[in-house]
Amino acid sequence: MQYTLILKPPEKIRRRITEIKKHLENIYGYTGSLSCKGVHITMAYLPNPESLDIISVKRMCENVSPFHFTMSGTGYFEKEKNGKKSYIVYLNVIPSPEMVTFHSMLVEALNLNAMDTGRFVPHITLIRKNVDEQRLYEILKFARNLNMAGCFQANYLILGKRKKQNNHWHFEHLNFSKI
């Protein structure tokens, strides 16, 4: 079983991001997921889902108040595979102190399932395929003019599950219940 824990911006923003991703795909080829449903902020990486304690995560969400986050600008991650560099370009998500606290609580609730990958960098991926160094600078120049800034409220965490890599994801909303 595979799991993902994500937040989603409002649908209007997801649609706009999907339009941008389709534009980038027309120029650079395959960019990654183009579904409006797929636009998200990953909150945790789960390397060991066999012992995932979903009840702890659900209980934690029941004790969390909705919180805000903002989006502003772009950034990129560099990755290397087989000696070849490539880049992932993303929209920058600026977490509120409440979002940072929520992430820490989530990692704690996940216990051994959460991998400490260093500093938490919330983001929304724009393009993750076919980006070499030359294309990186072209995409960043294009992205400077996107005007995707805004403040949004997170009211729930989404738990995604699927049995195998090629199966469809099944999603469950875990509402933030604390008032």
Q: Residue 26 sits in a domain of what CATH number?
A: 3.90.1140.10
For residue 61, being part of any structural domain is answered with: yes
Q: Is residue 77 assigned to a domain?
A: no
Measured from the Cβ of residue 88, the count of other Cβ atoms closer than 10 Å reads 18
Percentage of the chain surpassing pLDDT 70? Answer: 88
Lowest-confidence segment of 27-31, 120-124, 164-168, 174-178 by average pLDDT: 164-168
Look at residue 119 and tell me if it is in a domain: yes
Is residue 158, in this structure, part of any structural domain at all? yes
What DSSP line would sit under 106-146, residue for residue? HHHHHGGGS---SS---EEEEE-SS--HHHHHHHHHHHTT-
pLDDT in tens, 50-83: 667 788 889 999 999 999 999 888 899 888 888 8
Residue 164 backbone dihedrals phi, psi, to 5 degrees = -140, 165
pLDDT of residue 170 exceeding 70, the answer is yes
Once rounded to an integer, what is the mean pLDDT over residues 28-54?
74
Lowest mean pLDDT among 40-49, 60-69, 152-161: 40-49
Query: Mean pLDDT in the chain?
Result: 84
Number of folded domains in the chain? 1
User: Would 38 be classed as within a structural domain?
Assistant: yes
Residue 78 lies in a domain: no
Judge whether 68 and 96 are in contact, CB under 8 Å.
yes
Task: Say if 120 falls within a structural domain.
Answer: yes
- Residue whose structure tokens are 């920058």: 92
- Helical H segments across the chain, by residue range: 11-28, 54-62, 97-110, 133-143
Q: By residue range, what is the domain housing residue 56?
A: 2-70+93-124+149-175
Strand order in the sheet with 150-154: 123-127, 84-95, 67-81, 150-154
> Is 12 among the domain residues?
yes
